[in-house]
Amino acid sequence: MNAPLRRVAISVLVLFTLLIINVNIIQVVRSESLRQNDRNTRVLAETYDRERGSIIVDGTEVAMSVPTDGRLTYLRTYPQGPLYAPVTGYHSLIYGNTKLEDAMDDVLSGEDDRLFVRRIADLFTGRDPAGGDVVLTLDPAVQAAAMAGLEGRTGAVVALDPDTGAILGMASTPTYDPGLLASHDPEAIRTAMEAITAQDPDPRVNRAIEDNYQVGSLFKVIVAAAALEDGLTPETVVPAPRELPLPNSSRVIPNFGGSACSPSGEQSLIDALTISCNTAFAQLGIDLGEEAVRDMAEAFGLDDEGLDIPLDVARSTVGDIIDDAALAQTSIGQRDVRMTVLQAALVAATVANDGVQMTPYLVDELRAPDLSVLDETDPEVLREPISAEVADQLTEMMVSVVARGSGRAARLPGMEVAGKTGTAQVRPDVPDHNWFMGFAPADDPQIAVAVFIANGGSTGGDLSAPIAGDVMAAYFEGQGG
Amino acid sequence: MAAPVVDPRAAAADTPTRRGTEAALLAFAVLITVVAQMIVDLTVTGALRPEMAGFSVWITALWVVAHLVVRKWASYADPLLLPAVALLVGLGLAVIHRLDLAAGQVGSTVTREDAPVQLIWATLGVALFVAVLVVVRDHRTLSRFAYTLALLGIVLLALPAFLPASISEVNGAKIWIRVAGFSIQPGEFAKICLVVFFAAYLVDKRDVLALASKKVAGLELPRGRDLGPVLLAWVLSILVLVFERDLGSSLLLFGIFVVMLYVATERASWLFIGLTLFAGGALISYQIFGHVRARVDTWLDPFAYIDGAGYQLVQSLFGLGTGGLFGAGLGGGRPDQVPIAKSDFIAAAVGEELGLFGLVAVIVVYLILVERGLRSSLVVRDAFGKLLAAGLAFAVAWQVFVVLGGVTGLLPLTGLTTPFLAYGGSSLVANFVLVALLMRISDAARRPATPHATPQRLGDAPTEVVRP
């Protein structure tokens, strides 16, 4: 029996070698990917033993970790959860981190290199390691007004400080309460997540930056900018027929509601923008040529990659322009023109800031657990698409839009507001998107706003302009003025 | 036996007993056991338990008693078997205690304390170990009870299937008998009874079974009528699979039987027949039984079923991966996130906290245990002892392979326990009995032949070097 016994002994050796090879593969080769897997909550669970830093808006914590009676664990709480959810995201035992909780995780969890020295000190002093705080640029009054304005609708609002690029408000609806996903009870977390994912549209999407939409007439500001750079003035008279036959096509571009822009079939550039005349801008786009229109759009930041605020921002696009008919449609913001709500706010802010586009940012400063400042964001110039002179002319035209044209609902008492409305056709069978972008006060701009209502089915002037007015008013009230 | 076995040590009447080696290794195992407990407490709670002293004394006493009994009643037994067991049991106690401490943590699946109970079971295990060594002075006496044991084994195996599910079913497998708060897995004891029976039966019948009748494709196939016992074992395994939904025991029993048959008859054709039957059975079960199909699908892509059947395996892989080379340290990881970490998935806890090195060390300790058992089988002189030792040693090897393969995703999950390491009274006590039998056989193997032993044939004597 010894020969088969020896073979059995060798076979056992082989089987155990297989086991050892397999655990080597898991614990060495696949180790990193298993560790990094989104569903592996082990690394996340470790962070519950440490005081995670807070996310702070205007001195108030909007995300914070509070000690619980449970063993060495902290509970992540969101005192005004739904109001800031589009920005904070959640920190969940089961579902990991999203939005700023994810983007700023190194600082919040204390892993950031800037906290290294302190971590070493913690080792020696036996102090419990803690994470750093992230202070945001948001203005609570602006955020609250934006969310209140969007209530009950699907949409987004972005408000910027045109001088610095600091984001004053970033709202997106529908929203949710991230606190429900940050509890310590896995079952409750799963139930809450099921309730959230069952909703349509998805509340977890930040519509201000994660998706781009048809902008309609907002794009006319960019075409106007190209025309002004080309030497036209706001008073230059341009053709504005009742309808514009598209070149090499049987179709025509009508004006909104099929009305005429002017009895004479032509009008000044400023009037064309004021009443948002489609035929005038379609013809203007054709006259300027594809290159001029595209270059100006790209100068404002369309078709560019990689804004990181530090949340990832989707691309805004001009799209393909195959012929003059396509160019005409593009010039009034139809066809493939898409912008994020942040991009629309940036366009308004650029006009407000004398043609200088500042890099938008959400994080104002980082603080160590002892409240010393680790890092501060310095405003940076991102692009300079237009001259100060053109910016002034555009401001004048956009003031006219709010004072006398389609944007009247955004007017504020005691100051001039500049803006542009947009009503964008999405598909024949769904309601239009409604837009407004603008800034105030026109002579010394302090806030630029973009408001987007998805499939509102009305016009930008009726639906979005009033929200923009409320947001700006809330800002000035908050500033004590 | 095919050839007369030669005892190479017949001349050496002063064979070392190696009990000193065993004592030293046991001391090391005790040290590891106690230190591991201390590390767990210090890491998790930051202080030592007052019970620590009592625990240390208890554990030490346990192995001292076992060692003394071996000294007296099995003095020539292999010196590595008992320390290997002591190390595994000690490590298991530390890991179970560590998991106990995780009860109530966020995301923890641990709900109750089991380490103290496991210590009681270990004590009972050592008591049975002692009893076996004292009562069974010669393993050959066991062969007289072969058919009784066979009946007992089958009854034990089949019992849960006939009991109402309220008594016998846990997590979908009907393999338990739950009485007065105690859960017993009779299958663990049935395993030993059946191995003893297989050994006795095969020694009896091996000449018949080894008869070839015809050659097919280079394989000498046995006569059809001799296929009976194999088919019976196979049917028995299938019945276990069907009525108790216990993939593991079914695979374990059939594997042990086929290997013993091969060792007894020295015919590879039995392996081939066994594999064919197994493959057929596996294929048919895959087609017919939803629970088998679910197991296999989950094994192929656990991440696709991460929220359902694959959750446990994925958590296990996360634990192992996060542990990496050196592990998170005892008490430093989150092995409690893996459901049933104390029994089925204890290897995942070891891998997460002691890392690749710790887990491979455990695998190597098992390997030592098994290979030492097989070595006894090689050396022991009687055919029954040979086959019994081979069956018992292979049973441990096969069980370890199937379980560890399952929790590391090498094989589909089967739900067997990890011998000596995992929480579970039946498994622990039964495996102590198994090791006691191995010790008894290895004692017989290494014991110097009495002067009246059969004289050697001159031709088999080792060539002596002629020194000038």
Q: Does the pLDDT at position B465 exceed 70? A: no
The answer to whether residues A90 and A98 touch, using CB atoms and an 8 Å cutoff, is: yes
Which chain A residues in 91-130 lie under 8 Å from chain B, judged by CB atoms? 93-94
Count CA atoms within 13 Å of residue B152 on its CB side: 15
- Quick check: pTM over 0.75? no
What number is the average pLDDT over the span B265-285?
A: 84
Instruction: Calculate the CA B184 to chain-centre distance.
Output: 17
pLDDT digits (tens, 9 = 90+) for B322-341: 988 888 888 888 888 888 88
Q: Does the pLDDT at position B154 exceed 70? A: yes
Pick from A16, A184, A194 the residue to mutate for testing the B interface (most B CBs within 10 Å): A16
Counting every residue written for chain B, the total comes to 468
A2 → closest Cβ in B321, B370, B378:
B378
- Beta carbons of B371 and A9 less than 8 Å apart: yes
- Beta carbons of A30 and B334 less than 8 Å apart: no
User: B259 to chain A, minimum CA–CA distance in Å?
Assistant: 8
User: First CA to last CA across chain B, in angstroms?
Assistant: 39
Residues near A297 by Cβ (< 8 Å), separated by ≥ 6? A219, A222, A303, A318, A337
User: A40 to chain B, minimum CA–CA distance in Å?
Assistant: 6
- pLDDT at B164 (0 to 100): 75
Instruction: Calculate the CA B111 to chain-centre distance.
Output: 27
Q: Comparing A283 with B288, which gets the higher pLDDT?
A: A283
Size of interface A-B (CB pairs under 8 A): 145
User: B307 to chain A, minimum CA–CA distance in Å?
Assistant: 10
Q: Comparing A257 with B335, which gets the higher pLDDT?
A: B335
Kindly state the tokens that stand for B305. 């079923």
Please report which confidence band the pLDDT of residue B458 belongs to, taking 50, 70 and 90 as the band edges. low
- pLDDT at A47 (0 to 100): 63
Chain A residue nearest residue B102, CA to CA: A71
A5 → closest Cβ in B333, B337, B374:
B374
Which ranges in A155-209 belong to alpha helices (H)?
186-197
Q: Does the pLDDT at position A445 exceed 90? A: yes
Share of chain A above pLDDT 70, in %: 94
Angle, in degrees to the nearest 10, between helices B81-100 and B115-135? 160
Distances (CA, A) of A15 to A462, B146, B363, B416: 74, 30, 11, 17
Kindly state the tokens that stand for A266. 């032509």
Q: Does the pLDDT at position B424 exceed 70? A: yes
HEC-encoded secondary structure of chain B: CCCCCCCCCCCCCCCCCCHHHHHHHHHHHHHHHHHHHHHHHHHHCCCCCCCHHHHHHHHHHHHHHHHHHHHHHCCCCCCCHHHHHHHHHHHHHHHHHHHHCCCCCCCCCCCCCCHHHHHHHHHHHHHHHHHHHHHCCCHHHHHHHHHHHHHHHHHHHHHHHHCCHHHHEECCEECCEEECCEEECHHHHHHHHHHHHHHHHHHHHHHHHHCEEEEECCEEEECHHHHHHHHHHHHHHHHHHHHHCCHHHHHHHHHHHHHHHHHHHCCHHHHHHHHHHHHHHHHHHHHHCHHHHHHHHHHHCHHHHCCCCCHHHHHHHHHHHHHCCCCCCCCCCCHHHCCCCCCCCHHHHHHHHHHHHHHHHHHHHHHHHHHHHHHHHHHCCCHHHHHHHHHHHHHHHHHHHHHHHHHCCCCCCCCCCCCCCCCCHHHHHHHHHHHHHHHHHHHHHHCCCCCCCCCCCHHHCCCCCCCC
Q: Does the pLDDT at position A71 exceed 60? A: no
The chain-wide mean pLDDT, for chain A, equals 91
- Beta carbons of A186 and B408 less than 8 Å apart: no
Pick from A6, A7, A8 the residue to mutate for testing the B interface (most B CBs within 10 Å): A8
> Which one, of A344, A245, A332, A219, lies nearest residue A281 by Cα?
A332
E-strand stretches of A285-345: 338-339
Query: Can you tell me the distance from the alpha carbon of B90 to that of B126, in angstroms, rounded to the nearest whole number?
Result: 13
B301: contact with A, CB 8 A cutoff:
no
Query: Can you tell me the distance from the alpha carbon of A422 to that of A452, in angstroms, rounded to the nearest whole number?
Result: 9
Residues near B86 by Cβ (< 8 Å), separated by ≥ 6? B26, B29, B30, B33, B63, B66
Query: Can you tell me the distance from the alpha carbon of B330 to that of B44, in angstroms, rounded to the nearest whole number?
Result: 9
B373: contact with A, CB 8 A cutoff:
no
pLDDT digits (tens, 9 = 90+) for B105-146: 766 788 788 899 999 999 999 999 999 999 999 999 998 998
- Active-site residue, selected from the candidate residues A92, A172, A217, A276: A217
Pick from B106, B317, B352, B357 the residue to mutate for testing the A interface (most A CBs within 10 Å): B106
Counting every residue written for chain A, the total comes to 481
- Beta carbons of A27 and B264 less than 8 Å apart: no
Please report which confidence band the pLDDT of residue B448 belongs to, taking 50, 70 and 90 as the band edges. confident
Kindly state the tokens that stand for A7. 């073979």
Residues of A in contact with B379 (CB under 8 A): none
The answer to whether residues A317 and A212 touch, using CB atoms and an 8 Å cutoff, is: yes
Please report which confidence band the pLDDT of residue B436 belongs to, taking 50, 70 and 90 as the band edges. very high
* A63-72, A114-123, A365-374, A460-469: segment of lowest average pLDDT: A114-123
Kindly state the tokens that stand for B74. 């099995």
* Beta strands at B169-170 and B173-174: parallel, antiparallel or unpaired: antiparallel
DSSP β-bridge partners for residue A55 = A63, A134
Residues of B in contact with A91 (CB under 8 A): none
Query: Can you tell me the distance from the alpha carbon of B143 to that of B154, in angstroms, rounded to the nearest whole number?
Result: 17
pLDDT digits (tens, 9 = 90+) for B377-392: 999 989 999 999 999 9
- Beta carbons of B325 and A27 less than 8 Å apart: yes
Q: Comparing B34 with B180, which gets the higher pLDDT?
A: B34
Residues near A102 by Cβ (< 8 Å), separated by ≥ 6? A89, A96
Q: Does the pLDDT at position A144 exceed 70? A: yes
A236: contact with B, CB 8 A cutoff:
no
pLDDT digits (tens, 9 = 90+) for A373-424: 989 999 999 999 999 999 999 999 999 999 999 999 999 999 999 999 999 9
- pLDDT at B4 (0 to 100): 47
Residues near B439 by Cβ (< 8 Å), separated by ≥ 6? B70, B74, B77, B78, B81, B82, B133
Query: Can you tell me the distance from the alpha carbon of A112 to that of A115, in angstroms, rounded to the nearest whole number?
Result: 5
Kindly state the tokens that stand for B373. 């058992």
User: First CA to last CA across chain A, in angstroms?
Assistant: 100
Query: Can you tell me the distance from the alpha carbon of B352 to that of B21, in angstroms, rounded to the nearest whole number?
Result: 32
Give kind and range of the element (H or E) at residue A347.
helix A341-352
Q: What φ, ψ does residue B214 adopt, rounded to 5°?
A: -150, 155
Q: Comparing B438 with A2, which gets the higher pLDDT?
A: B438
E-strand stretches of A206-250: 213-214, 237-239, 243-245
Q: Does the pLDDT at position A123 exceed 80? A: no
Instruction: Calculate the CA B52 to chain-centre distance.
Output: 29
The answer to whether residues B253 and B391 touch, using CB atoms and an 8 Å cutoff, is: no
B209: contact with A, CB 8 A cutoff:
no
B306 → closest Cβ in A27, A39, A184:
A39
Query: Can you tell me the distance from the alpha carbon of B106 to that of A48, in angstroms, rounded to the nearest whole number?
Result: 9
Residue A406 annotated to the active site: no
- Beta carbons of B334 and A26 less than 8 Å apart: no
User: B45 to chain A, minimum CA–CA distance in Å?
Assistant: 10
Of these ranges, A2-11, A69-78, A166-175, B451-460, the one predicted with the greatest mean pLDDT is A166-175
What number is the average pLDDT over the span B255-278?
A: 86
A15: contact with B, CB 8 A cutoff:
yes
Residue with tokens 């598209």: A246
- Beta carbons of B404 and A19 less than 8 Å apart: yes
- Beta carbons of B409 and A26 less than 8 Å apart: yes
A5 → closest Cβ in B105, B317, B390:
B390
What number is the average pLDDT over the span A180-202?
A: 89
Residues of A in contact with B263 (CB under 8 A): 1, 4-5, 8
A427: contact with B, CB 8 A cutoff:
no
Please report which confidence band the pLDDT of residue B182 belongs to, taking 50, 70 and 90 as the band edges. low
- pLDDT at B96 (0 to 100): 95
Residues of B in contact with A22 (CB under 8 A): 405, 408-410
Query: Can you tell me the distance from the alpha carbon of A28 to that of A41, in angstroms, rounded to the nearest whole number?
Result: 19
